[in-house]
Every structure is written in C-alpha cells, then in structure tokens.
Amino acid sequence: MVGIWHETSGGLVALRPEPFEREQVLHDSIERGAAMLPLPGQPTLVMLGREVQLGNGYADLIAIEVETGRPVVIEVKLASNADRRQVFTQTLGYASYLFGLSVDAFEQLLRPHLARGGHASIAEAVVAGVGDGSVDAESLNAQMAQALEEGRFRCVVVLDTAPADLIELTGFLQAVTNDRLDIDVVTVAAYTVEGTRVLVPQLVEPERTAALALAAAPVRRDAKPAPGAQAFADSIDQAGPEHRELLRRLLDWARHLEAEDLAVLYTTIGKGRWVLNPRLPGQGRGLVTIWNDGGAFVSPQRSVFQTEAPRTLAHLDERLPGEIRQNNYLTSPIDQDVLALLTDAYKEARIKKSES
C-alpha cells in the first residue's frame, strides 16, 4: 500500500488521501505530466490530444509511445463516476476504432488538437515533445503505421481508487490479451503536504494484489468479532489527533443505532486496526462498517443495502454518486446529513423485517 506518513509526537500517522474535486482535475494532471504514470517499461509518452472523437465517443487522452510508435489510449475515471465499471469497454472500444487506420487517417482525427499546439503533424508534435533531437520523424511514422495496421496499442486506465472487482478484471484482461495489446491500470492518490498538493501514482499489479490478499487472509480469520463497542472506543486515543473527532462522532452514531434497537454492535481487532460493525438485529451483517485504521473510514456494503434498504439506497446514490459500493471507503465528508441517511437505512431495514 503506497501512502504518505508524517511523524507526530505519538508516532507515525498515515495521511488520508483527499478526493479529487472533479474528474477534470485528475485529467489535467495526467495531461500535463504523463511522465508520472508508472507504466511497465517506463515508456516516454507525448500527449497528442484531449477529448479526441473516435467514432461515437471521445477518448480522454491520446498519446504516442515514443520508443515504439504505438498509440496510447488513456481514460480517467473517479470513483464518483457512474460509468467507471464500463471504463474497459470504453478504452478497448477506442483502441478498436484506431485498428487498421493509416497514419494519415489517424492524423486527421488529431488535426485540430495538433493545431492547438502549433504542430502540423504527429511526428512534429513528438519531435517537439521530446525536444532532444533523438526522434527521427520518418522512423516514427513507419513504427506508427505498423502499430495501427497490426493493432499494437497501449490502453491505460487512470483511477483514484481501484476496487477489487476492477483489479480482478484487469488481471483477467492482461492474462487473455496477446502481446499486441498492453492494458495498464494506475491509481493516483492526492495529499496535501505543508500546503502543497502531492500526487502519488501506483501501478495496479493484479497478481501482487492477489498474493498480498492471500497472505493477509490468516490474520483476518484469526480476528474474531466481539460483542460491544468498548474496544473500539478505547482505540480512538491511539488514532492521530486529527481523526479522533470523526471517530468519536461515528461511535456515538453507532451507539445511537444500538440504543434504538436498529443495530447490534461488534468490534473486530486486527493488527493496528479496529473495526466497528453495526450489525442488523438477528443478522451477521451490517449496512456499513467503521474503521479506525490509520484514520477514520466508513465502508458501505451495497449488497446489504440492495436487499434490506433499497429505498434509502436510492437517496444515498443521489447524495453520494458512485460511492455506495462494496467494501470501499466513502470519500465524501461524513456529515450529519450522511449519517441521517444511514440511520434511515437501518430504520428501513427494521421495517422490512417487521413486515416479513
């Protein structure tokens, strides 16, 4: 897990990533600094166009891999984007549109974008972008023509977070595609360090992620939920000072659920983490879990919302677009309005049980 830690009097504390205000913010960063992408082979990318029309859609970014002449299709999606699950379909669709084009046809698609940069051709843009005289325009055009003809592309998906299902899909696509197509997924987290925004990119490696999850499994099996919330309450003083207020507010909210017979509280203690689970009465599952794990986090369980509180789920999807998923962390501020909606969900679940 890549992150940024800072020293406090109580020890090292992990900084919590900040959500990107809009997708365009991350989009702008990638366009300005393609070198930040930690891609296999460390290729040199030169950006050619943004929002490039390819068929009925618009590719976020189109670049050229200088060393090979391969076109690169880059799609940027945030967790809040409802289309994020279709990102591979979009990206591969754009690559298929380019398959078989001539260099002239490819260049025609990019002409208005090249013109904005003051360039008459792709080769001219790449030569200027590299800027050290190492690129031969004729050789680049020949490589590009071969790549287009043979379908040799690099597809890059850039996300703020990568849920387990997308990591699994990435691994599958990487396993079944041939050597003509590279599919890479990069996550980018944003932090504020002494008033400066810092971006931390990380290449998603499905095989390594699966191995780490497998290695962690025995620890999770050994950690057993215990009734009550006192252990979680006691853990709050071990959190960074900046996280304690939210943790106490979440604890008070969970205890209120229990007092209203809307939930039964259980705490699970792991290595350096405490998890508070407000379970639905009579069930071994809850609508959310609360984490004290280097910060204060709330994880929704969408599958439980769908079966136990579908009406409130619709309101939550409006209030927090794309955030009520399965085992992810909410990235929007957890204010009183959000907690009120979560309370409504537990109330809906109780009504549903009484009617059944």
- Model confidence over 201-219: pLDDT tens digits? 999 877 544 444 434 444 3
Q: Residue 59 — φ and ψ, nearest 5°? A: -70, 135
In eight-state DSSP terms, residue 281 is T
With respect to residue 324, please indicate whether it lies within any of the assigned structural domains.
yes
With respect to residue 321, please indicate whether it lies within any of the assigned structural domains.
yes
Domain match, 71 and 135 both? yes
Domain boundary among 210, 242, 273: 210
With respect to residue 215, please indicate whether it lies within any of the assigned structural domains.
no
DSSP-assigned states of every residue in 160-205: S---HHHHHHHHHHHHHS-TTEEEEEEEEEEEEETTEEEEEEEE--
With respect to residue 7, please indicate whether it lies within any of the assigned structural domains.
no
Q: How many domains does the chain have?
A: 2
Q: Residue 136 — φ and ψ, nearest 5°? A: -95, 120
With respect to residue 330, please indicate whether it lies within any of the assigned structural domains.
yes
Domain match, 85 and 184 both? yes
Does the pLDDT value for residue 62 go beyond 60? Answer: yes
Domain match, 59 and 176 both? yes
Domain match, 162 and 293 both? no
- Are residues 326 and 305 in contact, defined by beta-carbon separation less than 8 angstroms? no
Could you give the count of Cα atoms lying within 13 Å of 141 in the half-sphere of its Cβ? 13
Per-residue model confidence (pLDDT) at position 92: 92
Provide the percentage of residues in the chain whose pLDDT is more than 70.
92
Domain match, 142 and 182 both? yes
Q: Helix 137-150 and helix 122-130: axis angle, to 10°?
A: 120
17: left (phi over 0), alpha (psi -120 to 50) or beta: beta
Domain boundary among 148, 175, 210: 210
Per-residue model confidence (pLDDT) at position 209: 46
Does the pLDDT value for residue 174 go beyond 90? Answer: no
The CATH number of whichever domain residue 70 belongs to comes to 3.40.1350
> 342 lies in which domain range?
224-355
Per-residue model confidence (pLDDT) at position 85: 65
Domain match, 245 and 334 both? yes
Domain match, 343 and 244 both? yes
Domain match, 80 and 186 both? yes
With respect to residue 217, please indicate whether it lies within any of the assigned structural domains.
no
Give CB contacts under 8 A, 24+ apart, made by 170-175: 170/204, 170/206, 171/206, 171/207, 171/210, 173/88, 174/206
| Angle, CA of 167, 168 and 169, to the nearest 5° | 90
- Are residues 318 and 311 in contact, defined by beta-carbon separation less than 8 angstroms? no
Domain match, 178 and 130 both? yes
CA-CA-CA-CA torsion sign (226, 228, 234, 239): positive
Mean pLDDT of 284-288: 90
Q: Which of 183, 179, 162 is nearest to 39 (CA)?
A: 183
Does the pLDDT value for residue 252 go beyond 70? Answer: yes
Per-residue model confidence (pLDDT) at position 222: 40
With respect to residue 263, please indicate whether it lies within any of the assigned structural domains.
yes
Per-residue model confidence (pLDDT) at position 292: 92
pTM for this entry? 0.59
With respect to residue 52, please indicate whether it lies within any of the assigned structural domains.
yes
Amino acid making up residue 332: S
Domain match, 196 and 292 both? no
Does the pLDDT value for residue 6 go beyond 80? Answer: no
Mean pLDDT of 80-105: 87
Domain match, 236 and 192 both? no
Domain match, 201 and 263 both? no
Amino acid making up residue 125: A
Higher-pLDDT residue of 3 and 96 is 96
Domain boundary among 159, 183, 210: 210
Mean pLDDT of 189-202: 88
